[in-house]
A and B are shown apart, each in its own frame.
Chain A
Amino acid sequence: MKAMIRGNESIAYAFKLARVQVVPAYPITPSTLVPEKISEFIAKGEMKAEFVPVESEHSAISAAIGASAKGVRVGTATASQGLALMHEVLFIASGMRLPIVMGIGNRALSAPINIWCDHQDMMSQRDAGWLQFYGENNQEGLDLGIMAFKIAEDNRVMLPAMVGLDAFVLTHTVEPVEMPEQSEVDEFLGEFKPNYVTLDTNKPATLGSFGFPEHYMEFKFGQWVAMERAKKVIDEVFEEFEKKFGRKYRKVNPEFVEDADIVIVTMGSMSGTAREFVKRMREKGKKVGLVKITTFRPFPKEELREVLKGAKVVAVMERNISFGFGGAVYAELGAAFANLSNRPKILDFIVGLGGRDITFKTFESVLELAEKAMNEDVDEVNWIDVNKEAVYRAEGLQ
């Protein structure tokens, strides 16, 4: 059945179809519609869940941990400052190995305050031990939202998961989405039975205890092992999903890469524009390819090495910046190739921060520099579509 829904609703429907039992959430632009929709589902009797209208995002994720530790399926949603406020507690959710799923409306961080799209919020949480998925459209938001539970709850993984959808471009945009039947999702996910130690009065356990140096590192290594094992589990779940629902997902999605000299790497909604741009370049005879990353944590370095091995120049386009080095995807992709003797030239392009539009002109600027890099050295980190002269003047550099 086709439904016309906004990106936020795709997360809310994923929670409903997954029969999430507790949703603690706090409103924040642009993800507010998720708790609104959950509240509506519950009010109409369409969803049997406890909605906890907490007084902050910090409490939202804390309550999520409490509920998950009690042994129910838990979903929440936030964005930007809200995710940043959760920062401390995100590490505790993953350290306690609780399979919470969180929808993120990917939005810029202050200052200046800005409500529009970039990936800085989720990228700033990349070390928090959560699985990270980025959707290209609302269908992906719904599908990844459902699959996130199956991956997170797999006993080889037991890690929380984030599903990011670009602010406004997806969260507030109505798109046609293939809505699975409840019975199909029930079959796919199975009944939720916590396969971990819970707060059970018949079997008292101490959760969240104090770890001394002689134990702490083993807990962390356990998280590392789980993240590594998640790579295979994600593939299995994607495959099972495709068999059941007919929609194919991959951690890394290559298009036109076989003979490509230049490959553009993207995440999120800009991938749609990128695909159209690459097609047009192909029509002009330019050997350009595209790789969309869906799974950022665990970082799919094996797949990226494989699909990018033939490229001469890899142009990473990303909506985040780590000041003092470059974008996070560029940093990790570079590291993925660092020990290989045969490696492409990898360039970073910082684009679309704080909701700046990413248009064909953006891609043209990127391609121009990438083509130049085929024959000569260019800057490694390049800011595109930014008024550099104004900044230089303001910084007294003219």
Chain B
Amino acid sequence: MSANYENEEFFAPGHGMCAGCAAPIIVKWVLKLAGPNTIVANATGCLEVATTAYPRTSWRVPWLHVAFENAAAAASGVEAALRAKGEKANVIVFGGDGGTVDIGFQALSGMVERGHNILYVLYDNEAYMNTGIQRSGATPWGAWTTTSKVGSANPIGKLRPKKPVAMIIAAHNAPYVATANPAIFQDFKKKVQKALSVEGPRFLHVLSSCTTGWRHDPSKTIEILRLAADTGLFPLYEIENGDIENMRITYKPKKFKPVEEYLKMQGRFRHLLKNPEYVKKLQEDVNAWWDKYGHHYIK
């Protein structure tokens, strides 16, 4: 058993991330569980901008930022150099949804296909928040963003569903892929620990939140993220070695809450509540997912 660093901070306080942002919670706990023998590669985004304003830094582990779309490639180079030197360390990538499912998708796919020994952590707040809330491939259907605006000609907002990135990475036969949610903390923690214990390319898709982009009260972050799990909107599962048929759903609420409870706490969905048809559509989407995959729940 490796040393326990849960009482140490490798992601120092005093950074510039917003109050109520879930990303620092995710990052700080991944690092606590990984410990000091860790090298981080970070894609361009809020996390990078708000934690490394030269000459200050929030990172107490070696940290590298190159650009937006290439964190997985830069980390591949770091990992290759570790092998060349015969050294061992955790190589962890932190990327937002834009840098992971859109512009960085090719680099991520390449990293996984080549089998680099890297843990890629996607913190998914479902839009390009750093540039001001533009829709991404991870933005869910019906969300308002500054590039999926709502008006008389488009009362819905984003018209396309969220890209199932964890499934896509699992289809690369990655040794370990999981979705996680910091509000379902023990599950999140177990998955990070498991991901850290596996060799090869690993992918954690962690739901984050953005108070300005989701338009929510900064004190409600965990409550809202918990509702994402308890409504079934963001299912928590893990897939090993690409075996999607044997995926394991690791969290199932005793009683599913209606999606409306999740929607009504966020300004980005306010327009949907004006039309029961839209809420019904989302509820049906959630039900359909659980009808299809719900039997994968393992107690």
B76's nearest neighbour on chain A, judged by CB, is A63
Contact present for B70 and A70 (CB under 8 Å):
no
With contacts A199-B62, A207-B65 taken as known, whether A67 is within 8 angstroms of B80 at the C-beta atoms is yes
With contacts A55-B113, A199-B78 taken as known, whether A89 is within 8 angstroms of B66 at the C-beta atoms is yes
Q: Which residues of B contact A199 (CB under 8 A)?
A: 39, 62-64, 78
- B61 close to A (CB within 8 Å): yes
Contacting residues of chain B (48-67) with chain A, CB-CB under 8 angstroms:
48-49, 52-55, 57, 59-67
Binds A, one of B82-90, B134-142, B146-154, B192-200: B82-90
- B171 close to A (CB within 8 Å): no
Contact present for A207 and B77 (CB under 8 Å):
no
- B30 close to A (CB within 8 Å): no
Q: Which residues of B contact A22 (CB under 8 A)?
A: 77, 80-81, 84
Q: Which residues of A contact B79 (CB under 8 A)?
A: 66
Contact present for B109 and A55 (CB under 8 Å):
yes
- A92 close to B (CB within 8 Å): yes
- B75 close to A (CB within 8 Å): yes
A70's nearest neighbour on chain B, judged by CB, is B81
8 Å CB contact of A63 from B52, B54, B80, B106:
B80
A208's nearest neighbour on chain B, judged by CB, is B65
- A155 close to B (CB within 8 Å): no
With contacts A49-B84, A54-B110, A62-B66 taken as known, whether A206 is within 8 angstroms of B77 at the C-beta atoms is no
With contacts A59-B110, A92-B67 taken as known, whether A66 is within 8 angstroms of B81 at the C-beta atoms is yes
With contacts A59-B107, A208-B65, A215-B54 taken as known, whether A201 is within 8 angstroms of B39 at the C-beta atoms is yes
Contact present for A70 and B110 (CB under 8 Å):
no
Contact present for A201 and B61 (CB under 8 Å):
yes
Contact present for A201 and B62 (CB under 8 Å):
yes
Q: Give chain B nearest CB distance to A180 CB in angstroms.
A: 23
CA of A56 to CA of B70, assembled, Å: 10
- A221 close to B (CB within 8 Å): no
CA of A64 to CA of B59, assembled, Å: 22
- A53 close to B (CB within 8 Å): yes
Contacting residues of chain A (92-147) with chain B, CB-CB under 8 angstroms:
92
Residue total for A at the interface (Cβ-Cβ under 8 A): 43
A-B contact count (CB 8 A): 158
CA of A49 to CA of B81, assembled, Å: 9
A212's nearest neighbour on chain B, judged by CB, is B53
Contact present for B53 and A209 (CB under 8 Å):
yes
Contact present for B73 and A205 (CB under 8 Å):
no
With contacts A21-B85, A66-B41, A201-B61 taken as known, whether A210 is within 8 angstroms of B53 at the C-beta atoms is yes
Contact present for B85 and A70 (CB under 8 Å):
yes
Question: Per-position contact with A for B191-209: 1 when CB-CB < 8 Å, else 0?
Answer: 0000000000000000000
CA of A92 to CA of B70, assembled, Å: 12
CA of A71 to CA of B106, assembled, Å: 26
With contacts A59-B76, A72-B81, A201-B62 taken as known, whether A206 is within 8 angstroms of B52 at the C-beta atoms is yes
CA of A62 to CA of B78, assembled, Å: 10
CA of A366 to CA of B39, assembled, Å: 57
CA of A207 to CA of B71, assembled, Å: 13
- A200 close to B (CB within 8 Å): yes
Question: Per-position contact with B for A42-70: 1 when CB-CB < 8 Å, else 0?
Answer: 00000011101111101110111111111
Q: Which residues of B contact A60 (CB under 8 A)?
A: 73
**Max chain B CB contacts within 10 Å: which of A92, A200, A201?**
A201
CA of A66 to CA of B241, assembled, Å: 27
- B266 close to A (CB within 8 Å): no
- B36 close to A (CB within 8 Å): yes
B16's nearest neighbour on chain A, judged by CB, is A210
Contact present for A71 and B38 (CB under 8 Å):
no
- Give the interface size bracket for B toward A: 35 or more
Q: Which residues of A contact B246 (CB under 8 A)?
A: none
Contacting residues of chain A (14-39) with chain B, CB-CB under 8 angstroms:
21-22, 24
Contact present for A52 and B54 (CB under 8 Å):
no
With contacts A21-B81, A50-B83, A62-B107 taken as known, whether A205 is within 8 angstroms of B52 at the C-beta atoms is no
8 Å CB contact of A71 from B36, B81, B89:
B81
Q: Which residues of A contact B106 (CB under 8 A)?
A: 55-56, 59
**Max chain A CB contacts within 10 Å: which of B52, B61, B77, B80?**
B77
- A211 close to B (CB within 8 Å): yes
- B230 close to A (CB within 8 Å): no
Contact present for A209 and B54 (CB under 8 Å):
yes
With contacts A52-B114, A59-B73, A201-B38 taken as known, whether A209 is within 8 angstroms of B52 at the C-beta atoms is yes
Contacting residues of chain A (174-223) with chain B, CB-CB under 8 angstroms:
198-201, 204-212, 215
Q: Which residues of B contact A55 (CB under 8 A)?
A: 106-107, 109-110, 113
Q: Which residues of A contact B62 (CB under 8 A)?
A: 198-201, 204-207
- A380 close to B (CB within 8 Å): no
Contact present for B84 and A21 (CB under 8 Å):
yes
- B74 close to A (CB within 8 Å): yes
8 Å CB contact of B60 from A48, A204, A210:
A204
Q: Give chain A nearest CB distance to B83 CB in angstroms.
A: 5
B58's nearest neighbour on chain A, judged by CB, is A206
A55's nearest neighbour on chain B, judged by CB, is B110
- B97 close to A (CB within 8 Å): no
- A88 close to B (CB within 8 Å): yes
B55's nearest neighbour on chain A, judged by CB, is A215
- B69 close to A (CB within 8 Å): yes
CA of A21 to CA of B72, assembled, Å: 20
With contacts A56-B110, A89-B70, A215-B54 taken as known, whether A24 is within 8 angstroms of B64 at the C-beta atoms is no
Q: Give chain A nearest CB distance to B16 CB in angstroms.
A: 10
A214's nearest neighbour on chain B, judged by CB, is B54
With contacts A59-B73, A199-B64 taken as known, whether A69 is within 8 angstroms of B78 at the C-beta atoms is yes
CA of A336 to CA of B84, assembled, Å: 44
With contacts A24-B76, A63-B80, A70-B77 taken as known, whether A209 is within 8 angstroms of B65 at the C-beta atoms is yes
Closest CB pairs A-B (n = 5): A66-B77, A55-B110, A63-B77, A70-B81, A59-B73
Apart from A22-B77, A207-B62, what are 11 other A-B pairs with CB-CB below 8 Å?
Answer: A24-B76, A49-B84, A62-B107, A65-B66, A66-B74, A67-B80, A70-B85, A71-B81, A199-B64, A201-B36, A209-B55
Residues of B in contact with A (beta carbons under 8 Å apart): 36-39, 41, 48-49, 52-55, 57, 59-67, 69-70, 72-85, 89, 106-107, 109-110, 113-114
Of the A-B pairs whose beta carbons lie under 8 Å apart in the complex, a sample of 11, sorted by A's number, is A50-B84, A52-B76, A54-B76, A63-B77, A66-B73, A67-B77, A199-B64, A200-B62, A201-B37, A201-B61, A209-B55
